[in-house]
Structure 1
Amino acid sequence: MNASEDKLAPAVRSILATARERSGGAERLDVDARSFPAAVEATEAAGRVPVVAEVKPTSPTTEGERTDDPVDLAREMVAGGATALSVLTEPEHFGGSAENLRRIRGAVDVPVLRKDFVVREAQLDAVESDLILLIARFLDEQGTDSLATLYEAARERGFQPLVEVHTREELDRALEVGAEIIGVNNRDLGKLEVDLDTFERLAPHVPEDVTLLAESGVTSVADVRRMRAAGADALLIGTAIMDGDVEANTERLTTADAERASRAAETSDAETDAGPTSSESTDAKRGRAESTDTTPRNTDTNQ
């Protein structure tokens, strides 16, 4: 169903091969998850950009390694306004661990995503988190469980599954299993190249009642605004935050919409009776938590 494994970048093939052999937890988990959609809504209500800041000591696509205590990094991200955190638990290629996730989740009060290559149901039970990443490209393949199986198993345990997609076919599969949180990865795992057009192509096909994230390649305030204009409810950002002053970088990216939000707030009362302007209607579509609309999102870029 997915692209064949030989089309993956060598580093990704190695990660996937290791993931297939990784064991799971000793007992089935029962997670009391912090709501990610509610956190996104609260962040937007406060006039900030919802950012999932990633605690990523290293990766195959970056140079060097951060040796800071992961808990200290996480606290700096939250202090900078992060809506949620993403914590790598893959040890060999990303320098992550389940223990890092446990410590971070115990130290903050925002939702925490476990970012790893989970390919079998037993691996869901390795460690508690609020969200768990399911990469559509790696599932429904030999040696892995199906996306539908893992999605339902994750929900039964209390996790909020974040289904990651890169193509229209993967997006359709995510929607077929009922995914409520979807991330569009701008990075092609075959070539490890990043193209923000990927999100812009797929976003119009995502229903309004889905919480939609843009992942990879967001390095600047301009990129944040571009992805928001294309329909991103939140952005997952790693390197641009980890490279330098973590708290300052997080604050810079989470306040990218602050000026526009302030202007909208100042004029909202005067324009209530007249109906929303095009800019305000785009902002309104991001009030996601109570939406039941399944029509495609409006991605007007003339805002």
Structure 2
Amino acid sequence: MNDTADVAPAVRSILAAARDRDGGSERLSVDARSLPHAFAAAESEGRIPVIAEVKPTSPTTEGTREDDPVELARQMVDGGAAALSVLTEPDHFGGSAENLRKIREAVDVPVLRKDFVVREDQLDVVESDVILLIARFVDDLSGLLEAAEARDFQALVEVHDGEELSEAIEAGASIIGVNNRDLAKLEVDLATFESVAPAVPEDVTLIAESGVTTPKDARRMRDAGADGLLVGSAIMDGDVQMNTEKFVNAETNE
């Protein structure tokens, strides 16, 4: 789709940096941990499947978290996170491929690489279990999805509206995330997920992204059909283990 004409200046800057960033020098082949299986395991134990995000900073947050990212990741898993999301975008989010490598070695849950991947060679930067592909910013979603799966990555295809959802389904996405944040205005509205979710096929793993800041939000997204939640700032802001526990237990502690 690669629709960037009306995105916020901060996002345009991120994309410009992403297009200039080098890819990997050798094609990867990963032995991925299954995200759907991790979600099912969490469900069987009475937990909401949560992807907790190790996010040092972002254009929409204030300040930088300087704790050891590996220790933060361990605390999130101890708190019940079914999976982790690790930022590898260096210029605007303070992430790195090295952080992801260290975290993936230290935990036994699936790890999502959170970045703006726009070319096939950028898939080869670091091994992860899941790779994020943002439908709006990819020229050939079907081709990049196929390239990711050829390396045995699981691909989380992110969409924001019905048109992008149709593109993701047509491309063959089996894991879809609905971003509640409008990248044109950087505004968040949980109704976005509620409007898109009904059109998602039942055999697709569906994730609600952005704007889940309270247990009430978590329950709202689950009621709307979310198989899992991606939670970043609300977990990173404070004691990450306690915050993770709050979200994974949101349905049992109403």
Given the alignment, which residue of 222, 227, 230 partners 2:221?
227
The 5 Å alignment of 1:102-117 reads: 102-117=101-116
Aligned partner of 1:155 in structure 2 is: 149
1:244 and 2:238 correspond:
yes
- Equivalent position of 1:187 in the other structure: 181
In the TM superposition, what are the counterparts of 1:28-177 in structure 2 within 5 Å?
28-140=27-139, 146-177=140-171
State the AA in 2 paired with 1:233: D
Residue deviations 1:115-158 (CA, integer Å, cap 9, x gap): 00000000000000000000000012xxxxx1011100000001
For residues 29-73 of structure 1, the C-alpha deviation after alignment (integer angstroms, 9 at most, x for no partner) is: 000000000000010010000000000000000001100000000
Task: Supply the distance in 2 between the matched residues of 1:167 and 1:77 (Cα, whole angstroms).
Answer: 30
RMSD: 0.9
Distance 1:54 1:79 in 2: 14
Identity of aligned residues (%): 72
Cα deviation 1:99-121 (Å, max 9, x = unaligned): 00000000000000000000000
Structure 2 residue 215 is the aligned partner of structure 1 residue 216? no
Unpaired runs of 5+ residues, structure 2, are: none
Aligned residue identity for 1:70: P
Partner SS state of residue 5, structure 2: helix
CA distance in 1, matches of 2:241, 2:15: 32
Partner Cα distance (1:126, 1:67) in 2: 23
Distance 2:5 2:25 in 1: 33
- 1: CA distance, partners of 2:84 / 2:44: 19
Q: Give the aligned residue type for 2:158.
A: E
Q: Secondary structure at the match of 2:149?
A: helix
Deviation string, structure 1 residues 171-196 (Cα, Å, up to 9, x no partner): 00000011000000000001000000
Q: Identify the residue that residue 196 of structure 1 maps to in structure 2.
A: 190
Q: What secondary structure is seen at the aligned counterpart in 1 of 2:173?
A: coil
Q: State the shift of 1:258 in Å.
A: 2.3
CA–CA distance in structure 2, aligned partners of residues 94 and 24 of structure 1: 18
| Structure 1: 5+ residue stretches without partners | 141-145, 261-303
3-state SS, counterpart of residue 203 of structure 2: coil
Q: Structure 1 counterpart of 2:186, which letter?
A: L
Matched with 1:143 is none
Distance in 2, Cα, partners of 1:148 & 1:19:
19
Letter in 2 for 1:82: A
Shift of 1:2: 5.2
CA distance in 2, matches of 1:29, 1:217: 33
Tell me the residue number matched to 1:21.
20
Ranges of 4+ aligned residues in structure 1 off by more than 2 Å: none
155-164 vs 19-28, greater mean Cα deviation? 19-28
Deviation at 1:26, TM superposition (A): 1.2
Larger radius of gyration: 1
Number of positions where the alignment pairs a residue of Structure 1 with one of Structure 2? 254
Separation in structure 2 between the aligned mates of residue 176 and residue 7 of structure 1, nearest angstrom: 24
- Partner amino acid, structure 2, of 1:99: E
2-structure distance, mates of 1:259, 1:90 = 35
Aligned match of 1:300: none
Secondary structure, counterpart of 2:198 in structure 1: helix
